[in-house]
Structure 1
Amino acid sequence: MQNNRNYFIAIALSVLIVLGWQFLYMNPRIEAQRKAELARKAAQQTEQVQTPAAGGTTTAQPSGAAPSGQAPATTSLADALAKNPRVAIDTVSLAGSINLAGARLDDLRLKGYHETVDDSSPIITLFSPSETKDGYFSEIGYVGNDATGTVPGPTTLWTAPEGAKLTEKTPVTLTYKNEKGLTFERTISVDEHYMFTVTDKVTNAGDAAAALSSYGRVTRYNKPAVASTYVLHEGFIGVIGDSLVESKYTAVEEEPVTHTAAKGGWLGITDKYWAATIIPPQQTPYDSRFSHFTDGQPRFQADYKQEAVTVAPGQSIELKNLVFAGAKEVPVIDGYEATYQIPRFDRLIDWGWFYFITKPMFKLMDFFFRYFGNFGVAILLTTIVVKALFFPLASKQYASMANMKRMQPKMEELKAKFGDDRMGLQQATMQLYKDEKINPIAGCWPILLQIPVFFALYKVIYITIEMRHAPFFGWIQDLSAPDPTSFINLFGLLPFTAPTFLHLGVWPLIMGVTMFVQMRMNPTPPDPTQAMIFNWMPLVFTFMLASFPAGLVIYWAWNNTLSVLQQSVIMKRHGVKIELFDNLKGFFKRKPAPNEK
């Protein structure tokens, strides 16, 4: 009994620690980040022209492939777009333009995604020109030497045909010719989603052989406004050779991550829902680098430089890079991995440690979504499937609990018989378990096995873009965000916003009620400490889950409801009394005061 008491005290303390961490640390942090993001967007809308930014040089850094030395960016978006000639991008998924200075992808917006659940809100901006303070772009260029002359780099002005426009049906061809007789012909195409194909044909019309090293980079000036959490990787990512490499922004700020002579793979920068990556030619070795620059404009950069190739006089070579820039939609990412044979490209989505559970669970939910058109309904149906799969284990769990209940009278007899003789009581109890063929820990294994499933579902709801702004019914318009209602303002009847740490919506309350009912299916523990935890646990979890995504809270409430039904059936099958109604009566029955009779 003493061991059980200590065990439950440890659980209670752990829950209180998690609750305190959520309320005192995470909620204020999330609120501060939200205000910072709103302030940033307001400033972006009203920013004015100050000092034009200087372009970078074409000199490669000793450790990698990227130009550096860029001055701080302070130009407005409109003026940055007007600074250089551009080729428009217009597909079913993308809008923006290619900067002919450097042939950069530095103006890209995602037509299918808005900043809020309101379809009239601005669409998501992924790339912005380097002259703006939110610069984010992708660039492919070359590093040469004196014999090769000036090669395409950040400031190279490419030539495009008059009236050219990049669509999924019309590629664009850009040209550049240098003083040494090298002609660069770049063909850029894009599919109906987010994959750009950049094919360079280099022809040497000069008298001497030319040695060239191609480079590619994804450069970003700022970290995401909302910091990442422990369940999601945001920052640098890539498959370099055979290795999956993930590096946080903070880690790269302290020390760059470099790899040499890798072959195959991809690299870039990922956010929660969006990413930008470059897939270099897979058969040519390259050096790669994740780095943070502070020379002039602070920026984060993922880049690679290939081994030099030689173009003989009168000869030409062709190099092809792929650039992904867009939303991390699961079917699209999986399709690119299969179509282009990109190694482990599906890991661009952070499926986590339980990859083998998380991704199949999403596939199941996506299957239901395609039939019913509602991810909330898909969550409910997925929960039923999971409960069905775990039914044999749950049956054993509840059967074990039922057997333990039948043994309660005999246990009480043993306690009365042995009194304070704990060793004798323990030996007699173990013999009773052996005689009755009861495993006292059998009920724990199903719970432990379901923990990875629960965490996998949490990952699916939290990380997949399919859940972003996905509605359920009624007031739930975004399953990936917390329930927006709050009992503090009477669920919107009073004209003020509840503080974050007091926010408690309708679905968390429903979840709390279902958890309370589920716990009342079993007898109240006789130990006072256990009984206290038994009574307070639903309330603690109600507040703790209030800031979780609504989809996860809906899952938990529905799972509790199914568990109550399942436990009732199993207990009835084993001839064990269902304690629910007696426990509810006992909980709500007023206890007499000590001086009352």
Structure 2
Amino acid sequence: MNPENRNMILAISLSMAVLFGWQMFVVGPELEEEAALQQQIAAQEAAAAAEAAAELNEVPKANLSGSASEATPGVASSAEAPAVSAPRITIDAPLVSGSISLAGLRIDDVMLKAYRETQDDDSDNIQFLLQTDSDRPFFAEFGWASGDADQPMPTADSVWTASSMLLSPTTPVTLSWNNGKGLTFRRQLAINDDYMITVDDSVESSLSTPLTLFPYGLVRRHGTPPTTGIYILHEGALGVFDETLSEIDYDDMRDGDEGIDDIRPESNGGWIGFTDKYWLAALVPDQSKRMNYAFKALSGPGDRYQVDYISSDGMVLAAGGAVTSQTRLFAGAKKVSLLDGYAAELGIKNFDLAIDFGWFYFLTKPFFYAINWLNGLLGNFGLAVLAFTVGVKLVFYPLANKSYRSMGKMRILQPKVQQIRERHADDRMAMNQAMMALYKEEKVNPAAGCLPVLLQIPVFFALYKVLFVTIEMRHAPFFGWITDLSAPDPTSVFNLFGLMPFSVDFLPPFLQLGAWPIMMGVSMFLQMRLNPAPPDPVQARIFQFMPIIFTFLLATFPAGLVIYWTWNNLLSMAQQWYIMKRIERES
């Protein structure tokens, strides 16, 4: 086998093995497993629906340490949904709408105005946080814990008094509640133009003795939400503690030690929450204070998950004095620039890690910013991907130029290589020595053709992550039939790309074969034609099937990635043809 062909086969085989193996043995089984899990969860929740109203609250606990006491502060239990009916404060912000009940002040109704479930004109907006009386409550709660059982703390049934019934960026709401035993609780809610709600709590005392209070916050989610079920994307609970990201899947939360995973950071700050593919509900306590955090799978009927924090040291409320606490809730879309902005403005460490950029973070995030910048210039993310591909080719040009020149020289040396093969047909060692001597004499590196292909593998996967996980790519159109660069090509050769009046959804995704995957396969076939045909029939047959295999494989990938690969093949062909023609003229 000539070294040029051997290197090419090695590079393509490695790429194909990684992609095909990942799709076959990771993505496929995980999707099937996720579908079965969702069916099981739906059955469990249906059986437990009648008991849901009787579920009890699970509020984080903290230990009083040191000389003060070893008691465990607690709070009174209350029903999951408030037992009393109360008016709701209206939330009206540029990107968010919803409401907050005066009973309990749980933030349990947040709709994202800028995003819809699908691209249909009549599609509903994303309803992110869900009311406590719904089938799948998903809400945030803030409050105080106390070690004094005689001092009632606010619960889900506590009805607060509000200064206004409208919460907007220009009109914060001040609320109050008196426990009837010497404590007055006040809360100010404010929302900005994006997705950040600020909660300022205070407690005023008319007692004659001091009291230790522990501010806490929690986000609770009922039911395991539908997920993509793909290994490379984390959907579940996460947080940053001591500047280190911790992620835990829903099944791991259920299987944990008594359903609780406590975190005791050594440094101040941190954050905790639940992440979906595109959405995030995160608690961001005072970054100058030390908190204890926890991931929890709560007991009871159905699946219930909770993330929470509570002050590790507590706050001493002096007799006749007051204490204050501030925290924030992010509930919205995981826009890269938005999370980076909050990280810088509020000092939230690694807030951008809520977006699962993956192992190639050092490539993926710069790639995103480059593509996003190009989109600002060109007005289309598809064109931005094409322009970005040109930039990648320019970066790799010196290496590719050297590689293609070496391949061109190898092509010119083919007659001499063939003579060596014929001369040493019976002595393989002598043949290899003669060929190495020829390469050394002609200053040709037979492995040069392999390196550019290998270097493109991390670029490919980093770009895949950009297209797959960033909200900016969701429903981003290209031209023609591509209306979502983050989704596979919606057309199929089996219904003549939509010309025939029937659907092919019954076919497995890799068999649906849209127009762009087919164009990618054709471009790959043409690129391989630029190389000399292998003398061995088996090698030649492998080369013939490579474009076909990759066509089926990439049928399930985001359309933006397939467009990138096709365009990259065309640019590579043009570059390779130009360089090889120059070498032939020089020779």
* TM-score, scaled relative to structure 1: 0.87
Q: CA deviation at 1:495?
A: 2.2
Shift in Å at residue 334 of structure 1? Answer: 1.1
| CA shift digits 1:246-272 (9 cap, x unpaired) | 122222221143211442111111111
CA–CA distance in 2 between the matches of 1:254 and 1:203? 42
Picking from 402, 408, 411, the partner of 1:402 is: 408
Comparing 401-410 with 27-36, which one deviates more in the overlay? 27-36
* Other-structure match for 2:69: none
Kept after mapping to 2: 8 A contact 1:36/1:225: no
8 Å contact from structure 1 (residues 148, 211) kept in 2: no
Question: Residue type matched to 2:203 in 1?
Answer: V
How many Å apart are 1:222 and its aligned residue? Answer: 2.5
| SS of alignment partner, residue 445 of structure 2 | coil
List structure 1 segments (4+ residues) > 6 angstroms apart after TM superposition: 2-7, 31-41, 49-52, 62-71
2:360 counterpart (347, 351, 354): 354
After superposition, residues 30-41 of structure 1 pair within 5 angstroms as none
Quick one: distance in 2 between partners of 1:274 and 1:421?
A: 64
CA contact (8 A) 2:41 2:224 kept: no
Give me the whole-angstrom Cα distance separating, in 1, the residues matched to 2:585 and 2:35.
51
SS state at 1:489 partner: helix
Name the structure 1 match of 2:261. 257
Deviations 1:259-294 (A, max 9, x none): 114421111111110000011112222211112123
Size of the aligned set, in residue pairs, is: 567
- Following the alignment from structure 1 to structure 2, what is the Cα–Cα distance between the partners of residues 61 and 536? 62
Conserved 8 A contact 2:238-2:248? yes
AA at the equivalent of 2:520: M
Aligned position for 2:560: 551
Counterpart selection for 2:160 from 147, 158, 161 = 158
Aligned match of 1:97 = 99
- The 8 Å contact of residues 265 and 292 in structure 2, kept in 1 or not, is answered as yes
Tell me, yes or no, if the aligned pair for 1:276 and 1:326 is still in contact at 8 Å.
Answer: yes
Change beyond 3 A, Cα 1:251–1:39:
closer
Q: Secondary structure at the match of 1:288?
A: strand
Relative distance call for 1:556 and 1:59 in structure 2 (3 A) is: closer
Aligned to 2:135: 133
Match of 1:185 in 2: 186
Partner of 2:56: 56
Q: Which residue of 1 aligns with 2:498?
A: 492
Residue of structure 2 aligned with 1:277, choices 260, 277, 282: 282
* 5+ residue gaps, structure 2: 64-71
Check conservation: 1:58, 1:153, Cα contact below 8 A.
no
Structure 1: gaps spanning 5 or more residues: 578-597
Deviation at 1:62, TM superposition (A): 7.0
**Structure 1 residues 93-141: Cα deviation after superposition (integer angstroms, max 9, x where no partner):** 0011112222111111100000001232000011002332221111111
Cα pair distance change 1:464/1:232, threshold 3 Å: same
CA 1:190–1:62: 2 relative to 1, 3 Å: closer
Say whether residues 1:437 and 2:443 are aligned partners: yes
Q: How far off is 1:57 after superposition?
A: 3.8
1:50-449 aligned within 5 A: 53-54=53-54, 56-57=56-57, 60-61=60-61, 83-146=85-148, 149-161=151-163, 163-255=164-256, 256-262=260-266, 263-306=268-311, 307-449=313-455
What CA distance in whole angstroms lies between the structure 2 residues aligned with 1:82 and 1:397?
74
Q: Give me the TM-score of the superposition, normalised by structure 2.
A: 0.88
Which amino acid in 1 is paired with 2:166?
K
Give the root-mean-square deviation of aligned CA atoms.
Answer: 3.4
8 A contact 2:96–2:110 mirrored in 1: yes
Q: 2:479, 2:24 → 1: CA distance? A: 28
Give the distance between the partners of 1:490 and 1:469, measured in 2 at CA: 24
1:458-469 to 2 correspondence within 5 Å? 458-469=464-475
> 1:273 corresponds to which letter in structure 2?
Y
**Secondary structure of 1:575's partner?**
helix
- Residues 38 and 535 (structure 1 numbering): CA distance in 2 closer, same or farther, change over 3 Å? same
Q: Report the Cα offset of residue 21 of structure 1.
A: 7.3
Q: Does 1:517 align with 2:538?
A: no
Hey, what's the Cα distance between the residues in 2 that align with 1:409 and 1:81? Answer: 89
* CA shift for structure 1 position 446: 2.1
- The answer (yes or no) to whether the contact 2:270–2:285 under 8 Å persists in 1 is yes
Q: 1:536-590 CA distances to partner (integer Å, 9 max, x unpaired)?
A: 111111111111111111111111111111111111221279xxxxxxxxxxxxx
